Amino acid sequence: MPEVLVFATLNGLVTGLLLFMLASGLTVIFSMMGVLNFAHASFYMLGAYFAYSISLYFGYWIGLIVAPLIVGVLGALVERYGLRRVHQHGHVAELVFTFGLAFLIEETVQFFWGADTKNYQTPELLNFPLFTLFGQEFSAYRGFMLAISIGIFIGLYQVLTRSRVGLIIQAAITHPHMVANLGHNVPLIFTAVFGVGTALAGLAGVIAGPVLTTFPGMALVLGSIVFVIVVIGGLGSLPGALIASLLIGLLQSYAIAANVGMPELLELLGLEFPPSHPLDDLWTLDLAQIAPTLPFLLLVLVLIFRPAGLMGKREQ
């Protein structure tokens, strides 16, 4: 039992922090620009694909550095020449634009890389167990993912709270006009934030690609969960996004590790269905099978009991 708990916690942290890498960019972009970027997870996918192609010629490590930079530049160009022009037509136009962009990126990926799963591998250097506990191995690559995610979180936190640029971003989130009136180039800050946000999504794709598989549907798989995180955490709240990411990462990980069937769970609630009951299929499920639905269940609960999200503030 302790080994299940330890490994489920470690895997939950890896997933949670990876989700935060995506959700942080999405929530900061939303805070500053009021845009819920539907294409955000597509940049995550682009990161994985660019890194895969680069790794074929120059190895994994060059891809790790170059792919997020390419994705960041692409993101900045999308903001500067796409979103900024659409912005004058309102938020609905922006939503439609990012929605269309997500489709465009998915089709482009399929056009250039094909519809099959890519053989994007973890680097040789990290192909060993980091440690063995209770006879179970924890791979060095997962440790690397954890380290990168924690490093990004600390770096992001330091930049946002300690640097002048971070202060300008914090101020521009609530008072963009006033920040501009003090002589700061707010449109440039928006472009930079969008670029960094998409670069972080790209980085998440680079490090997740070899583990979660690199295929054209990867944006769709993670994209919906990232939106759930941003809503659960509270739209625009970075601490909320962190809490929600870890919550969902751990919840899914524990659910998979628990190895508990629905009969046991329902028994706890005093419910029992006969085999011929219409809900018989539900009866035979185990917790690991319903783990992917847990974020959405959590979303429903949060929307019912705390519609503004865990750390969000309801607009007056």
Partner 1 sequence: MGEVVMLEVNDLNAWYGKSHVLQGVTFQVAEGEIVSLLGRNGVGRSTTVKTIMGEVEPQGSILFKGEQIAGRKSYEIARRGLGYVPENREVFPTLTVRQNLLLGMKSTTPSGRWSIEEVFAMFPLLAERADVPGGALSGGEQQLLSMCRTLMGDPDMVMIDEPTEGLAPKIVEQVGNLLTEIAGRGVSILLVEQKLNIAMRISKRLYIMGHGQVVWEGTPESLNEAGDVRAEWLEV
- Per CB under 8 A, residues contacting partner 1 are 164, 167-168, 170-171, 174-175, 177-187
Burial environment of residue 151 by CB neighbours within 10 A (0 to 12, 13 to 18, 19 or more): exposed
For the bound state, the minimum distance from the C-beta of residue 187 to partner 1, rounded and expressed in Å, comes to 8
Closer by beta carbon to partner 1, 79 or else 106: 79
For the bound state, the minimum distance from the C-beta of residue 190 to partner 1, rounded and expressed in Å, comes to 12
Distance (Å, rounded) from C-alpha 179 to C-alpha 169? 9
Closer by beta carbon to partner 1, 45 or else 238: 238
Q: Which residues contact 138 (CB under 8 A, 6 or more apart)?
A: 7, 10, 129, 130, 131, 132
Closer by beta carbon to partner 1, 133 or else 165: 165
Closer by beta carbon to partner 1, 127 or else 181: 181
Closer by beta carbon to partner 1, 119 or else 174: 174
For the bound state, the minimum distance from the C-beta of residue 238 to partner 1, rounded and expressed in Å, comes to 11
For the bound state, the minimum distance from the C-beta of residue 86 to partner 1, rounded and expressed in Å, comes to 19
Distances (CA, A) of 80 to 42, 181, 190: 18, 21, 9
For the bound state, the minimum distance from the C-beta of residue 29 to partner 1, rounded and expressed in Å, comes to 18
Closer by beta carbon to partner 1, 161 or else 289: 161
Q: Which residues contact 103 (CB under 8 A, 6 or more apart)?
A: none
For the bound state, the minimum distance from the C-beta of residue 11 to partner 1, rounded and expressed in Å, comes to 34
For the bound state, the minimum distance from the C-beta of residue 179 to partner 1, rounded and expressed in Å, comes to 7
**Residue 311 · residue 231 · CB < 8 Å:** no
Closer by beta carbon to partner 1, 13 or else 83: 83
106: amino acid identity, one letter = E
